[in-house]
Amino acid sequence: MSMFGDGLDKAVQKAFTRPAPKSAGPQMRYMVKQLGGTKAVAELLGMSQRQVERYVAGKAKKPRADLAARLEREVTKRWQPQIRAKAREKAATTGGIVIDARARMGYTAPIGSTDQDRIRHLTVALPPIYAARLFDAQEAGASDTELQEIAAEALKEVYFQDGGRRAGSLDEVRFTDVEHLEFDL
């Protein structure tokens, strides 16, 4: 599971005006419409064309858990792309993104320093430049580790260094053992 990638997706989904279809039949019909036929959907989901047709017709209703997860992921990926694009654009140019995380954060510091590596719960508004970097990296297929590094760099700049007002000699911020992560636009 991609914690950072999924977190970014969820933040963007909150901007959707209409909820995506939730049950298998409507989801399958939506996918057939998107891909232009049952054969393409069957190939994408790794199932038989006949089984896709049964879901479309309402004869099959409850997919296995793995198929349900794949179907949900593919529908979500295609749902209201113009709204997804607008939400990302706004975050990357004017709005920025809020990161809410409970994880081990800090940097190597003298013993007794408050900025020592420890579990912290932070809610930090990141400027648009970091929202843009996160979304661009995600779009380019960045791994969760790469997204985590961008988030750590953003936290170093915004939280630990307060935009250059303190901790100027700080090299590297660690952001590990993530227990909770949520993004909000």
* pLDDT class of 173 with cuts at 50, 70, 90: confident
pLDDT digits (tens, 9 = 90+) for 120-141: 899 999 999 999 999 999 989 9
| C-alpha–C-alpha distance, residues 128 and 83, integer Å | 18
Between CA 106 and CA 144 the distance in angstroms is 19
- Average pLDDT of every residue of the chain: 87
Q: What is the DSSP string of 16-68?
A: -SSPPP-SHHHHHHHHHHHHTSHHHHHHHHTS-HHHHHHHHHTS-----HHHH
